[in-house]
Structure 1
């Protein structure tokens, strides 16, 4: 980091010392895992030693689901994947997915933006001998963060001049994509309270408790009359309630939505239908979910999807006429 002394991470003594430090942290605090900042600024050989050692140590202590993910600020899936394949980290923050969601729902590019990204998921497949193998289901999904800013801010500053209602409408499917496409969903704190912010870095780090920061308190929060000068732990907020429903569905169908193989069924070169299939084996039986998003502000026909099996609709975010999908909505179906 700028202004701090560098450690020689090429030195074997430094590698051993850093591993010992973090083993001691695991010993004492038994954390669920680590987020590792700015991993691309450290040589690959360091991570190749550090990551397997800590994963094995946590497992030896009975922390079976210990998880580490790195921050690699890149929108290139091939570059991101090199840190799970070559550098042997279990996962990274999926900046490439953030970019694709932003392209589709903020910039109004085609749903092909999403399909093109997911077509690169094979880059994340690993075949390690010393640690568990990884795939795209372990990537960490997000729409915005403390450095780049919030998704709501991108919508506010868009050249499309979205109204507040349109910003609310586009926030919801963006977050649904975190839960129902492959990867691990992460909500940046405050997004569930409609926080917007004035940009990246410190401008997107608003207080949840009543704030005294003027640049925070002049924000027009979404779907609420509150400002950050108020207490913002409102479990009745539209976003909180909606994200809670997404989480409930995610937990209700964990095999397909957490571990299921994802395939793109349909996309187009303009805003509209984006459909994926998630398939998992459960006690020898296949469970297949189809999730269909409408990234357009217009009603879309579902006739583009060929149905060879009977489907049961599990959820729709906005009521729609049969065979159609309402604007900026999504639906989840289970194939029988």
Structure 2
């Protein structure tokens, strides 16, 4: 596989002819595994020039149908950190020169350790979390201005707001943060979600700057926390500078039968990616259809497009010192291209981690996308993707605590989900979650019932995989997208804005109800953080009976028993059924109630009760 490396260009000489408006990526580093970089040069009629260099080997120059682009492939193999020069010539004479820099890498950069099952991830939406710098709420370079009265508008949260509250997140027991995208989204409305990005090398100025994003990672690393970037490969924003002046028509998927912009919405049928019976037109309708009108669907089958994305992703890892990616709409991409994107990144950083959003509803469909899947292997496909998201557990969690147990309802849904774990090549490297920025708030679903919240989160925090938690759930935040739109599930965190009367970031500022939620999350997560069996221990579970589900996490030296009673009456469990899980243990300590438990013959569990019992003899 041909690897491409990035060079960062810093303008050192005056461009007398005004020919160069952009060079991307803006800089690169010495000592990368990818020894060649495809440098995008953009300016009016730049393709009229030839490019030479006395200090770098230029192996290839590509032109497109748009004369405003040149793609210059430069070899950096063996080159040291320093300044280099590209000369732009006409008729054998240099008309202007462009300097660029190769930087020194951080020590052990290639060996960076990504997030794993020892972590707990706090997902937040930066625009709705905290406003740390009101002076950048609205900027001259971005169209949409701040207006907190609009549910789908800009509210002013930013990177400084995240930095200001890192201790709050860390104190809760979280070890990683996944922020929804922070790159510039210059759509005129509904830009706060930032999934329609307009510049892939620039933090949105309403969030801060590239330097501030790097500072966020630095501050997190001081606290032994990891930063996960939300990366979007499937689509860009309609206001992206490249979209507004395409190098060639085949950079995006345009539809002759679409509107004047070539738009045709995806049919969203991801099964067509592997369905042996799928028609070509249906498969094209999913993969090549646009996610939305403001999100042109990128053609990763075009090598220039794919290479741009590979280089950009590596650039952000190296520049900001990232610890992981969450990839939006992973399974909508050209599957061969996204596999190459993923594998190239993992070759550069073997211990990095990437989780893909594969929003499907059976374990087999999700497992297909995980690295080394036997299901994918049957079709000769291996995505190289280390981690996927357990959407089937999420589906179960949305309903099962509002149901009585039957053959396939109630707690049986959880049991059935885990019984399919054999399908996943790496069961510990999947994200487990109750909600995110696209789903109804879990507290809305369960009517702000604290006991049901405890059951949901106990399961998320104690089963196999990597727990991911949605900001605000720790204070019982509500939100219903079905009746009030997405803005309602993305509410402002109370206390994040000057003038907020309720400051849920502080114990004194939280209401009694908010404190109940917060204290539970803090207690269980800080226990989980130091309990290794919860990270890599095996799972042993028992068929739910009488609305009670019992499972164990265990390894050679530790055992934990989890009991969930999804009934409004007290239950008494006969413990002889669980001899395999108990393995002779006679005593335990319930970390929720902080009570010692005698495990002789029976165990009493309260109505809607939850227990996490550390076993001992």
**TM range, normalised to the smaller chain?**
0.7 to 0.9
Whether 1:2 aligns to 2:292 is yes
State the match for 1:205 in structure 2.
Answer: 490
State the match for 2:389 in structure 1.
Answer: 93
- Which gives a bigger RCO, structure 1 or 2 (Cα 8 Å, sep 6+)? 1
Displacement of 1:288: 2.8
Distance 1:229 1:309 in 2: 53
1:117-143 Cα offsets, whole Å, 9 max, x none, are 000111112xxxxxxxxx221111111
Tell me which protein shows more helix as a share of its residues: 1
Distance 2:553 2:429 in 1: 15
Distance 1:327 1:316 in 2: 18
Q: Is the 8 A contact 1:150 1:197 kept in 2?
A: yes
Q: Is the 8 A contact 1:68 1:91 kept in 2?
A: yes
State the match for 1:67 in structure 2.
Answer: 353
State the match for 1:223 in structure 2.
Answer: none
Cα RMSD after superposing both structures: 2.4
Distance 1:174 1:53 in 2: 37
State the match for 2:137 in structure 1.
Answer: none
Displacement of 1:209: 4.1
Distance 2:496 2:538 in 1: 44
State the match for 1:47 in structure 2.
Answer: 338
Equivalent position to 1:232, from 504, 526, 533: 504
Change (3 A) 1:314 1:75: farther
Q: Is the 8 A contact 2:441 2:489 kept in 1?
A: yes
1:19-74 Cα offsets, whole Å, 9 max, x none, are 11111111101111111111121122123212222123234xxxx4x321111222
State the match for 1:161 in structure 2.
Answer: none
1:151-200 Cα offsets, whole Å, 9 max, x none, are 111113xxxxxxx5xx1110111011111011111220000111011236
Q: Is the 8 A contact 2:565 2:571 kept in 1?
A: yes
Q: Is the 8 A contact 1:209 1:231 kept in 2?
A: yes
Q: Is the 8 A contact 2:402 2:410 kept in 1?
A: no
Q: Is the 8 A contact 1:295 1:327 kept in 2?
A: yes
Displacement of 1:266: 3.5
Change (3 A) 1:312 1:253: farther
Displacement of 1:104: 2.2
Structure 2 counterpart SS, 1:78: helix
State the match for 2:522 in structure 1.
Answer: 244
Displacement of 1:297: 1.9
Displacement of 1:75: 2.5
Equivalent position to 1:152, from 428, 438, 443: 443
Structure 2 counterpart SS, 1:238: helix
Change (3 A) 1:148 1:155: same
State the match for 2:328 in structure 1.
Answer: 37
Given the two structures, how large is their TM-score scaled by the length of structure 2? 0.44
State the match for 1:253 in structure 2.
Answer: 531
Whether 1:119 aligns to 2:407 is no
Distance 1:97 1:229 in 2: 36
State the match for 2:551 in structure 1.
Answer: 276
Distance 1:45 1:141 in 2: 26
Equivalent position to 1:83, from 344, 369, 391: 369
Whether 1:136 aligns to 2:424 is no
Q: Is the 8 A contact 2:428 2:465 kept in 1?
A: yes
Equivalent position to 2:306, from 15, 22, 29: 15
- 1:307-326 matches, cutoff 5 A: 307=579, 308-318=583-593, 323-326=603-606
Distance 1:107 1:45 in 2: 41
User: Computing the radius of gyration over CA atoms, which structure comes out larger, 1 or 2?
Assistant: 2
Displacement of 1:210: 5.1
Equivalent position to 1:302, from 564, 573, 588: 573
State the match for 1:160 in structure 2.
Answer: none
Change (3 A) 1:91 1:317: same
State the match for 1:224 in structure 2.
Answer: none
State the match for 1:57 in structure 2.
Answer: 348
State the match for 1:333 in structure 2.
Answer: 614
Structure 2 counterpart SS, 1:241: helix
Q: Number of residue pairs matched?
A: 291
Given the two structures, how large is their TM-score scaled by the length of structure 1? 0.79
Distance 2:428 2:569 in 1: 31
State the match for 1:180 in structure 2.
Answer: 462
